[in-house]
Amino acid sequence: MIEACEQAGVKMQIGYRCQYDPHHQEIMRLGQEEVLGKVMLIQTGNGFYYGGGSDNWRFNDPELAGGGALMDMGVYCIQGARYTMGKEPVAVTAQFYNPRPEIIIPELDDTMTWQMEFDNGAIANCSTSYGARSDYLKVSAQEGNFELHPCYQYNKPEGEVQGEPISFEGENQQAVQMDAFASNIMENTPVVADGMEGLHDMMVVEAIYRSAANGGRREKVG
C-alpha cells in the first residue's frame, strides 16, 4: 500500500485518530521532550469484554480478522508506547491466552500480554483482551509520572501530570484527523500518521506473535 501510494504520487494516512488529539499530543510532548526526565516504564492496556452470542467476523473468522485482540485493540497500546517514547522498540516478549475457546476460536487471541524493550532501557508492559475491560496509559519517568485514563476511547480522554489534571477541550478525534489529512493534501505537507506508522506497528505485531508462538521467547523487532 505504501509503495502503491508512492508510485501514484498520492498521500496515505493511517486512521490513528489519537495522534491528532491534544491529550495524546501532550503525552507525546512530556515523554519525547523528557519534561520529567527519561521515561523508564510504560504500562498500558486496551480491551473490552465480549461474552459471545454474536456472528461478528472479529470473533469467528480468522481470515477476515487477521488476528484477535492484539490486531483489534492492542495496536493502540503499541502506538501509545511508541509515541510516548518517540522511538521504536528493539525487542518484545509476549504471552498468549485463550481461556474461552467456546467463545473466541483458538485461531484468534482472546488475551495477549507483552513487554517491549527500548534501546535506552525503558520497558513497556502492555495488555489487550476480549475478556477484560481496560483503557489506560501510565508513564513513569525519572522525576515523576503522567497518564491518560480513560485513554483510547472515542470520548474525551482524561489524564494527569504529577497529580494535576491534563485538560483540553473535547475534540471529535475523527473530524480533527480528517481535517488534518485534508490540509496535508491541499497544502502538500507531511502526514503525521502516514503509512510508515502502520508498517512500524505491524513489525511489532509480528514480533509479538512470533514470541507468543515460541513460549514467550525474546524476539527482535524488524
The full set of domains in the chain, from first to last, is: 2-220 (3.30.360.10)
Q: Quote the CA–CA distance of 194 and 5 in Å, as a whole number.
A: 11
Contact yes or no for 82/201 (Cβ under 8 A): yes
Q: What per-residue confidence (pLDDT) applies to 55?
A: 87
Q: What per-residue confidence (pLDDT) applies to 7?
A: 98
Q: Quote the CA–CA distance of 159 and 211 in Å, as a whole number.
A: 32
Q: Quote the CA–CA distance of 52 and 33 in Å, as a whole number.
A: 44
The continuous run of DSSP H or E covering 159 comes out as: strand 159-161
Q: What per-residue confidence (pLDDT) applies to 198?
A: 96
Q: Quote the CA–CA distance of 85 and 141 in Å, as a whole number.
A: 11
* pLDDT tens digit at each of 222 positions of the chain: 999 999 999 999 999 999 999 999 999 999 999 999 999 999 999 999 999 988 889 888 899 999 999 999 999 999 999 999 999 999 999 999 999 999 999 899 999 999 999 999 999 999 999 999 999 999 999 999 999 999 999 989 999 999 999 989 878 999 999 999 999 999 999 999 999 999 999 999 999 999 999 999 999 998
Pairs from 192-195 (Cβ < 8 Å, separation ≥ 24): 192/19, 192/20, 193/13, 193/14, 193/15, 193/16, 193/19, 193/20, 194/11, 194/12, 194/13, 194/14, 195/1, 195/2, 195/5, 195/12, 195/14
Q: What per-residue confidence (pLDDT) applies to 170?
A: 77
Residues in the chain: 222
Pairs from 147-154 (Cβ < 8 Å, separation ≥ 24): 148/23, 148/24, 148/27, 151/44, 151/46, 151/76, 151/80, 152/18, 152/46, 152/73, 152/76, 152/80, 154/17
